[in-house]
Structure 1
Amino acid sequence: MTTPATPLRIGLVGTGPWARNTQAPALAAHPGVVLSGVWGRRAEAAGELAAAHGTTAYTGDAGLDELFAASDAVAFALPPDVQAPLAARAAAAGCHLLMDKPVATTVEGAREVAEVAERARVASIVFCTLRFAPETADWIAEQGATGGWFTAHAEWIGALWAPGEDSEYAASPWRREKGGLWDVGPHALSVLIPVLGDVTDLTAVRGPAGTHHLVLRHTSGASSTVTLTLAAPVAAAGVGIELRGEHGIAGLPRWDGAVGAFGAAVDALTESVRTGEAHPCDVRFGLRLTELLAEAEAQAGT
């Protein structure tokens, strides 16, 4: 992790499981930043999370503005369509953005954030785990440099709502409503696009158990397929991405948790702030992901 001369003050907006398990611990432990505060809709939750990490709690609409004023950047751990307008508000206040995927579940919401961030000239990162976990980030860069791929397949098959499963994330209303397409689809696309190029054609159909199947054509000429769901049986669950090309077959390696990956995303934001150079996985990339997922949703129907 990088340690800038002046630590970046990063506030956290959100107090749910993702904030508690990943973002707050990563920010509090990072040597190059200061966790400048935690904002939550419920004062009790904000107070508990802030106290656990030795920082200030904020709540209410005025508290949000106070957190922005006390921060150089803001990290978001909120449902996407709550995140988007608050991120636009933070950018307008001059705060750099560390957003979760997806940026929003509407193209209009994602575009608003991207446009406000551009006007305000703030740096941004969209946290797609595989783009920042060291094991997978290195693999993505290596496969992009290798080239020669003609096809790929990605599958992210989760069992979040299977009987007997007790994940904290299963209670999320937006995940229940939008399913695997929106929750884990960004992960798959965030790997395929930097290796194979942007998507030029997309076809999407629905399958059983909330499954979405995508067929993509990329600017490199390669094609790929993607299978996504969060509602599979436990025995069917698994994650894998495989590339095939003139150099053989390459499979996505395993990665070690989200806290370290989030720390790497903090590094990336810090570097973008320092240099003024946009990161490839910024809010404009988040907008592109939203465009593709919205198109897939429209094609596949409900």
Structure 2
Amino acid sequence: MMQVGLVGSAHWARTVHAPGLAGSSHVQFAGVWARDFSKAAELAKAHDTQAFRDYDDLLDAVDAVSFAVPPNIQPSLAQRAIRQGKHVLLEKPIADSLASGSQLVRDIEQAEIRSVVFLTRLFHPVLHAGIAEAAETGGWSSANMRIASNTMRVASPYSGSIWRKKPNAALWDLGPHMFSVLWTVMGPIIGVKARRDERGHIRVHAIHSAQRESHGELSLQARDEDIANETSFTGSNGHLSLPTVDFAHGGAASAYEAALAQLSHQERGPNFCDAHFGLELLKLLQECEDQLGQAPS
């Protein structure tokens, strides 16, 4: 069974990655490393595994690494794992710049290892089925996707997240979810336009191949009346809305289990949600960022 180590000890690592690894039927939870050893030790104890003081010691003990760290930290840590031949389960976005993301993908290609990008909407079983149905049905001329939360407006587990406090954080945090779904159903995205509306929400207009188009709305600081999580498609076959999943209460766990299965067995083929796809999403994020200004760091 594949031995997987966890890198990270913050909320997402504690509530999704660690319990997912501990309860997985696909992999063995081999240990935890984090910059704060005391937090790594606490997390490891909670799941009956070991904490590592040295990152290289963790790498020596595993076949793969699951990362739950910010996008500015992930590339350098992932590259060290990749260069030792370890498979990687990456968070989105895969990096905070095209340069570091591109180098990450080159390293993966050279090492010939598996990579999976944890895009919850593509991995959750119910949403995966709905997205697959929408893609198979086809005939869609337009799509609309709204992901507006109040995560950074009210007290939440992510209130202390530095990178999510940046002006365009909603783009980098929620944009990968939006673009991944729209790309999968509507086809490759060949152009984007991004702007900020009067409420501060980021609005995106995407052009797909065959001149299909989609519209997105993203916010981490939505007012209560503006909170939304909806995706719909319109075309010659009528109208289709994807089901809504509560990722804060079990949905993320189901998606993570599927991602681990993909990492260990490549169940949906070698290119499903891999780093190459993550890089395509990163290019779209950067194009939008250039139009909006002030990239995260």
Alignment correspondent of 1:211:
201
Alignment correspondent of 1:168:
157
Q: Given the alignment of the two structures, is residue 199 of structure 1 paired with residue 193 of structure 2, yes or no?
A: no
Distance 1:208 1:109 in 2: 33
Q: State the aligned residue count.
A: 289
Match of 1:37 among 12, 31, 41: 31
Alpha-carbon RMSD: 1.4
Match of 1:65 among 56, 59, 69: 56
Q: CA deviation at 1:220?
A: 3.5
Give 1:87-102 correspondences, 5 Å limit. Answer: 87-102=78-93
Distance 1:224 1:89 in 2: 38
> Bigger shift: 202-211 or 143-152?
202-211
Q: Deviations over 1:222-274 (max 9, x none)?
A: 100111111111221111111001111111102251011100000111122x8
Q: Residue 107 of structure 2 aligns to which amino acid in structure 1?
A: V
Distance 1:37 1:161 in 2: 31
1:268–1:279: 8 Å Cα contact kept in structure 2? no
Give the secondary-structure state (helix, strand or coil) at the position aligned to 1:154. Answer: strand
Alignment correspondent of 2:235:
245
1:160–1:230: 8 Å Cα contact kept in structure 2? yes
Distance 1:209 1:82, change over 3 A: farther
Q: CA deviation at 1:166?
A: 2.2
Structure 2 unaligned blocks of 5 or more: none
What percentage of residue pairs aligned between the two structures are identical? 37
Alignment correspondent of 2:226:
236
> Bigger shift: 289-298 or 209-218?
209-218
2:152–2:164: 8 Å Cα contact kept in structure 1? no
Match of 2:50 among 29, 43, 56: 56
Distance 2:73 2:226 in 1: 32
Q: Residue 9 of structure 1 aligns to which amino acid in structure 2?
A: Q
Match of 2:9 among 10, 15, 18: 15
> Bigger shift: 201-210 or 131-140?
201-210
Distance 1:155 1:238 in 2: 6
Distance 1:30 1:260 in 2: 11
Distance 1:209 1:109, change over 3 A: farther
Q: Given the alignment of the two structures, is residue 135 of structure 1 paired with residue 126 of structure 2, yes or no?
A: yes
Q: Deviations over 1:174-202 (max 9, x none)?
A: 11114110001111111000111111111
Alignment correspondent of 1:24:
18
Distance 1:86 1:249 in 2: 43
Alignment correspondent of 2:274:
282
Scaled by the length of structure 2, the TM-score of the pair is 0.94
Distance 2:118 2:240 in 1: 24
Q: Residue 14 of structure 2 aligns to which amino acid in structure 1?
A: R
Q: CA deviation at 1:44?
A: 0.6
1:209–1:229: 8 Å Cα contact kept in structure 2? no
Distance 2:231 2:262 in 1: 24
